[in-house]
Structures are given as structure tokens and as C-alpha cells.
């Protein structure tokens, strides 16, 4: 599984909303494959008897009580928005995908 | 998009003669916790846009989520009420997609480790039979923001220039409840689908974990439907052995009636395609409440590639068995069982009980009976004027009565005024009007309006004598044994008494004098 196909890269680019030219696609196939192969070295580590880990801290059940805390307020929330309208975040037309 | 072509549909009975339907329902329920799933923002419906947001639910850099304890408890209670196993250890996962309704570019959900799995819900159908819906899983996630599409056709995504997003809803705790394939329902599939969603709504309401208001979107249903050739009885082993057909998923079917209609429509649509030798396209469909049809939501090969991975910002949820058992002890009486018990206690017929349920008045009647009224009187008063007015206002009776300050105690008091003989039925109705108009308690209204049955039997007797005298022909009929003729005299006696008499007593007197 060390090398990527051109289709894989085109698919990932589509998911990431990145437009790649044919030349860029060709280049990324090579570069991403090198990265994958490097990372794949991890798979050589002896992991028999080691439980998979998704978090570095051995913690469970970290929760907070269901108590309201102050929100930002609409003005502050929208302050960083490139565009706002009707107290809402204005975003470009959503692609024809729904 | 221009006008939508109408798909061919097959007559439902014909479709059922040729095909066997299989369904899968996904129900999303917003919990009514005070705060969001991963932050302390409030969750109230209808607030000013973007007034209930913070760095966590806006996905600002560096913001860290913390799980809402109450939401996890609610999720486990839902799982337990659905007879599920509760995971000993489970994690959240990121569901990655680019869509502006989630500012983080992912939704925090659960993937292959749901908090609850492997349960069932027994659903009572209209004829009293039970259909067992197997539950695949119930998992925790968060709701998305709401988009408003500007330009183009009103509010539609197609042709819009840009969209406006309100993130108040983003991050509200959501539980997704997924059934296993529902087989063996045969032609009753649409009814079963509706009955399941209805039973689930009752259960969630009894658990007091959600507002379950489908019209406000706090409970939403996606209906998967597929057909396979019919080879025998829906539950026969030959039929169950036939592989499942291609399914479609109809999104956001947001009323009980629509659940039934949408399933029925998709069955007829699939049947027409399959019967013509075509194949059903696996896709998302949109339900149109107004026209009663579904339209294609377009298929995109990439759309399902969510690249789930464990959420690194949250630690696992690992409920101890003590915790699970403590929550199990808080489960309410199952709604079906409770309904049967109340119906039996109250002596209602099936039809009467259904009327009460449809009116949403079960709790009100329960409290009214507890306050001392008879079950019959409680039903009569709640399903009368208050229900009629609530309907006219487009409100449910509970909300309507609460807003007026009209309580079960008022109804019990009104009933007591009748049973004690102070008011007759028509006076009680006037008193009810006064109470609904905010004039005070029933006793206060009766006092203020001077409503009281005349206790002076002499006055009543005089009125009876007078009416008998002026209606000799009617009196003769009653003497001849035509007791039903007394009604005409009672009416006149009441008129003489200006309505302030006990009609029952008037009847007794008339009969006593003429028999």
C-alpha cells in the first residue's frame, strides 16, 4: 500500500477542494508516495500486545456539568468573519452538491 | 434546476403483489440539555442568529471541546430504554466534510464505537399487533448550523448567490438512532414506519431527554427503502432469504404522516422502475411535503468518503457498570405499558383513549384525576373547549393551557362544583369560559357571575306545576307512559328558572307528578 495511484490523488484533491493541474497531479503522486512510504516505517515497529491508542493521556470520562457559560455574543462572533449579513456568516454559494 | 420531472409510480397494491419492502430508519434527536454537546453555549430555540456561539462551536483555532455530562447520560438512558447494550468504552470520531454548516469542517460524531448498540423497540400497530424493530445502534454527535440560501429561488440551494449561516444550532447534542433492516412488514411497511417513529417519540418524551418536536426539527427522520422480489409470505423463510435490493435514503421526513407517505411513495417509485426492468439508483432523495413526492438529491461518488478517525481532542467515554445500572433505575414506565395501565384505570374505550392521546392530554387528565376529578369528567372538560381553542391557535393543549394559567386543578374544581350540585352543565360551561378568559378560579368565576343552582325546591316545584298546566297535551303523553316526552317540559322548566335549576331534579319532579 505504499504507493498512490493518480486516481487516489485526484480523489483526495477533490475531497480537499484543491484544484490540481495535470502536471501538479503527476508531481503529487510521486511526492505523496514518498511521504506515505516514510510514514509506513512505523508499521515495522513491534506492536504485538500493544493496544491501539488514540489519545496520549490515559484518561476516560472527562466531562463538564450541563451549566450554561457565556457565549461570545453575535457581534464578537461575527467580528472575524470576512463577510456578514443579517447577523449571519456570509459564505460563497455552496457547490451544487447539497 | 428547472422543473422536476415526475417519476413513474406503480399502484401500491400492485407493487405489494410483486415486491417485498425492506426499510431502515435513522432518527436524529436533539437533546434538550441546557448546553451544547462540547461547550457551555445555551441551546434555546429561536434565539437571535449567532448569539449562542463560542470559540468551540465556531471551530476557532485552539478551542478545545469538553463533553457534556448530561448529554452522555441522556444517550445512555435512550440506549437502555431501547434495550441496547451500553459500550464499556467508546470514542468520538471526526466525520470530515467541507460544508459551511459545520465551521470546523468536520462533525464530531461516533463511528464504529457507538455508545449503545444491539437493542429493540416493540411497536404497537393500529390493530393492536406488535412489530419488533431491531435497533442497530444509538450514537452521540452534534447538530449542524442552519443555512439560508440567498438569491435564486426562495431558500433553495440551487441558483443561490451565496448563503448565510447561523451557528446557534451547531454543537447541540444529537443522538442518532439507527434501526437494523426492518423486514417482514409487507404491505404494512408505511404504517410500521410511522408507528415506529411515533413510539420512539413517545419513549423519548417519557425519558424527558428531548422536546421531540418534529415541526421544529428537534426530531428528524431519514427513511431508507428497498424492494426485493416477492416470493412468498413476508415472514416466510423463502422471502427472508431473498437478497436486499438497492436502497434509497429519503432525507428529512419531518412529520409522522410524512414518514408514512414517503415510504409508500418510494415503494411505488422503486416498483415502477424494477417492473420496467430498470435498476434503482442508490442515492439520497428529498421529500416534498406539499406534492407528496421525492426527488433525486444527486449522487456524488465522493460524498460518502468522510475519512472518519478518532477525535484526538476528546478522551474515551467509559461508563462503569454501576453508572449504567444507576441510569437504568431512572427509566420511566414504558409508554405502551403506561398507556394500557391508564386506560384501564380510567375505564376509557380504545377510541376514547386514542382521542386523549391524539389531543396530547394524557398528562393533563392524569393530573386532573389526581386532583380529585372523575376520569370521565377530566376527559370531557379537557377535550372540549380548551382543546378546541388550542387547535384554533395551532398550539398543543399543554402549551396552550400553560400559557393561560389554566391547570388540572381548575378542571378538578370545576368538576367538584358540578358534582356537589352547585352548577349544572351549562353553568359549568359558562364558568369554564370565564376561567379561560382569566377571570379567576372556577369558584371565583361562579361567585362573580352569580352562578348557582336554585336550591329552593319550592320555586322549582312552582315552575314544574306551571309548565304542566300550560302543556296539558304533553303532560297527558307522559301520563300514558311516554317518558321521553318529559324532555320538552324540562326545557321549559329550565327557561322558567332562567337556567339556574338542576335539570335532573326537574325531571324527577315532573315524572313524580305525572306517574
B147 lies within 8 A of chain A by CB: yes
Using CA coordinates, name the residue in chain A closest to B173: A66
Is B4 within a domain?
Answer: no
Architecture of domain A1-41: Orthogonal Bundle (1.10)
One DSSP character per residue, B300-354 reads -TTTT----EE-TTSPPB---HHHHHHHHTTPPPPHHHHHHHHHHHHT--HHHHH
Is the same domain home to B276 and B400? no
Q: What are phi and psi of B163, to 5 degrees?
A: -125, 150
Tell me if B5 is assigned to some domain. no
Query: Is residue B162 located within the same domain as residue B298?
Result: yes
Main-chain dihedrals φ then ψ at residue A97, nearest 5 degrees: -130, -30
| Angstrom distance (rounded) from CA B50 to CA B58 | 10
- Whether B118 and B264 share a structural domain: yes
Q: What is the pTM of this model?
A: 0.79
Claim to verify: residue B442 and residue B503 sit in the same structural domain = no
Give CA–CA dist B303/B403, Å, rounded.
Answer: 46
Q: Is residue B408 part of a domain?
A: yes
Answer yes or no: are the C-beta atoms of B195 and B131 closer than 8 Å: yes
Q: Which of B426, B448, B470 is the last residue of a domain?
A: B448
A57 by Cβ neighbours in 10 Å (0-12 / 13-18 / 19+) ranks as: exposed
Residue B6 lies in a domain: no
Residue B451 in contact with partner chain A when CB distance is under 8 A? no
- Bridge partners of B28, per DSSP, are B176, B220
CA B471, distance to chain mean position in Å, is: 55
CB B469 within 8 A of CB B495: no
Residue B316 lies in a domain: yes
Tell me: do B491 and B434 sit in the same domain: no
Asked whether residue B238 is assigned to any structural domain, the reply reads: yes
Q: Both B266 and B351 in a single domain?
A: no
> Quick one: B440 and B492 in the same domain?
no
Residue A18 in contact with partner chain B when CB distance is under 8 A: no
Q: Which residue of B has its CA nearest to A84?
A: B164
Residues 155-174 of B with CB under 8 A from A: 157-158, 160-167
> At which residue does the C-alpha cell 437533546 appear?
B31
Gap between the Cα atoms of B6 and B269, Å rounded: 10
Cell 424494477 sits at which residue? B274
How close B180 gets to chain A, by Cα (Å)? 26
How does pLDDT run along chain B (515 residues), one tens digit per residue?
444 567 899 999 999 999 999 999 999 999 999 999 999 999 998 899 999 999 999 999 999 999 999 999 999 999 999 999 999 999 999 999 888 899 999 999 999 999 999 999 999 888 889 999 999 999 999 999 999 888 765 556 666 788 999 999 999 999 999 999 999 999 999 999 999 999 999 999 999 999 999 988 899 999 999 999 999 999 999 999 999 999 999 998 989 999 999 999 999 999 999 999 999 999 999 999 899 999 998 665 555 688 999 999 999 999 999 999 999 999 999 988 899 999 999 999 999 998 898 888 999 999 999 999 999 999 999 999 999 999 898 888 988 998 889 999 999 999 999 998 888 888 899 999 999 998 999 999 999 988 887 666 778 888 888 888 888 888 888 888 888 888 888 888 888 887 777 788 888 888 888 87
Q: Is the dihedral of CA B170, B176, B181, B187 positive or negative?
A: negative
Residues of chain A positioned with their CB less than 8 A from the CB of B108: none
d(CA B274, CA B247): 12
B358 with B229, same domain: the answer is no
* CB-based contact B167 A77, cutoff 8 Å: yes
**Residues in chain B closer than 8 A to A18 (CB atoms):** none
Within an 8 Å CB–CB cutoff, is residue A19 touching chain B? Answer: no
C-alpha separations of B435 from A59, B68, B353 in Å: 58, 43, 26
In sequence order, the β-bridge partners of residue B96 are: B106
Residues spanned by the domain of B24: 12-326
Taking only residues 86 to 145 of chain B, the set having a beta carbon closer than 8 angstroms to any beta carbon of chain A reads 89, 91, 96, 98-100, 103
Question: What is the C-alpha to C-alpha distance for residues B155 and B250, in angstroms, rounded to an integer?
Answer: 20
List the grid coordinates of B387: 382543546
Q: Which chain A residues are closer than 8 Å to B100 by Cβ?
A: 89, 91, 94
Torsion sign, CA atoms B344, B347, B348, B349: positive
Q: How far apart are CA A15 and CA B20, in angstroms?
A: 37
Alpha helices in B157-299 (DSSP H): 189-207, 237-241, 256-275
> What ipTM was assigned to the predicted interfaces of this complex?
0.86
Residue B303, domain member (yes or no): yes
Residue B388 sits in the same domain as residue B291: no
Amino acid at each position: 500500500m505504499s504507493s498512490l495511484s493518480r486516481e487516489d490523488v485526484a480523489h483526495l484533491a477533490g475531497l480537499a477542494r484543491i484544484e490540481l493541474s495535470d502536471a501538479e497531479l503527476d508531481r503529487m503522486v510521486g511526492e505523496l508516495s514518498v511521504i506515505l512510504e516514510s510514514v509506513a516505517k512505523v508499521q515495522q515497529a513491534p506492536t504485538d500486545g500493544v493496544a491501539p491508542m488514540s489519545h496520549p493521556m490515559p484518561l476516560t470520562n472527562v466531562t463538564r456539568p450541563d451549566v450554561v457559560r457565556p457565549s461570545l455574543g453575535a457581534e464578537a462572533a461575527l467580528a472575524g468573519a470576512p463577510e456578514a449579513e443579517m447577523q449571519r456568516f456570509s459564505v460563497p454559494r455552496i457547490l451544487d452538491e447539497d | 434546476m428547472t422543473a422536476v420531472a415526475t417519476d413513474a409510480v406503480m399502484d401500491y397494491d400492485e407493487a405489494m403483489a410483486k415486491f417485498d419492502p425492506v426499510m431502515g430508519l435513522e432518527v436524529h434527536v436533539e437533546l434538550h440539555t441546557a448546553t451544547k454537546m462540547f461547550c457551555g453555549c445555551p441551546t434555546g430555540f429561536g434565539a437571535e442568529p449567532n448569539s449562542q456561539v463560542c470559540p468551540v462551536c465556531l471551530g476557532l483555532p485552539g478551542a478545545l471541546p469538553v463533553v457534556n455530562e448530561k448529554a452522555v447520560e441522556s444517550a445512555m438512558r435512550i440506549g437502555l430504554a431501547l434495550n441496547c447494550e451500553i459500550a464499556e468504552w467508546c470514542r468520538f470520531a471526526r466525520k470530515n466534510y467541507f460544508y459551511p454548516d459545520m465551521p470546523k469542517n468536520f462533525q464530531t460524531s461516533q463511528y464504529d464505537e457507538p455508545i449503545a448498540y444491539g437493542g429493540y423497540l416493540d411497536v404497537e400497530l393500529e390493530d393492536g399487533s406488535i412489530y419488533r424493530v431491531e435497533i442497530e445502534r444509538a450514537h452521540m454527535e452534534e447538530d449542524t448550523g442552519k443555512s439560508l440560501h440567498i438569491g435564486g429561488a426562495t431558500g433553495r440551494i440551487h441558483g443561490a448567490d451565496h448563503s448565510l449561516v447561523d451557528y446557534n444550532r451547531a454543537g447541540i447534542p444529537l443522538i442518532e438512532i439507527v434501526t437494523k433492516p426492518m423486514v417482514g412488514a409487507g404491505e404494512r411497511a408505511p404504517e410500521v414506519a410511522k408507528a415506529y417513529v411515533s413510539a420512539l417519540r413517545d419513549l423519548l418524551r417519557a425519558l424527558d431527554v428531548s422536546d421531540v418536536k418534529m415541526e421544529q426539527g428537534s426530531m428528524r427522520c431519514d427513511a431508507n427503502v428497498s424492494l426485493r422480489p416477492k416470493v412468498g409470505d413476508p415472514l416466510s423463510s423463502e422471502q427472508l432469504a431473498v437478497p436486499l435490493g438497492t436502497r434509497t435514503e429519503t432525507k428529512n421526513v419531518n412529520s409522522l404522516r410524512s414518514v408514512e407517505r414517503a415510504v409508500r411513495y418510494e415503494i411505488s417509485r422503486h416498483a415502477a422502475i424494477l417492473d420496467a426492468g430498470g435498476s434503482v439508483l442508490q442515492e439520497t432523495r428529498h421529500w416534498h411535503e406539499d406534492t407528496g413526492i421525492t426527488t433525486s438529491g444527486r449522487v456524488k461518488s465522493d460524498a460518502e468518503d468522510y475519512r472518519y478517525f478518532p477525535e484526538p481532542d476528546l478522551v474515551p467515554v467509559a461508563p462503569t457498570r454501576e453508572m449504567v445500572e444507576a441510569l437504568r433505575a431512572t427509566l420511566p414506565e414504558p409508554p405502551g405499558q403506561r398507556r394500557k395501565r391508564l386506560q384501564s384505570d380510567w375505564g376509557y374505550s380504545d377510541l376514547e383513549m386514542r382521542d386523549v392521546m391524539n389531543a396530547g392530554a394524557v398528562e393533563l387528565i392524569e393530573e386532573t384525576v389526581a386532583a380529585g376529578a372523575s376520569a370521565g369528567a377530566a376527559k370531557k372538560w379537557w377535550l372540549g373547549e380548551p382543546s378546541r381553542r388550542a387547535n384554533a391557535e395551532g398550539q398543543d393543549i399543554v402549551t396552550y393551557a400553560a400559557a393561560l394559567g389554566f391547570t388540572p386543578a381548575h378542571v378538578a374544581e370545576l368538576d367538584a362544583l358540578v358534582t356537589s350540585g352547585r352548577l349544572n352543565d351549562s353553568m359549568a360551561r359558562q364558568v369554564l369560559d370565564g376561567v379561560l378568559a382569566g377571570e379567576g378560579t372556577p369558584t371565583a368565576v361562579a361567585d362573580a357571575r352569580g352562578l348557582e343552582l336554585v336550591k329552593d325546591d319550592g320555586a322549582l316545584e312552582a315552575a314544574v306545576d306551571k309548565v304542566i298546566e300550560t302543556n296539558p297535551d304533553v303532560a297527558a303523553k307522559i301520563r300514558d307512559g311516554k317518558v321521553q316526552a318529559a324532555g320538552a317540559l324540562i326545557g321549559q322548566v329550565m327557561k322558567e328558572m332562567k337556567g339556574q335549576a338542576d335539570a335532573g331534579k326537574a325531571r324527577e319532579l315532573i315524572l313524580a307528578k305525572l306517574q
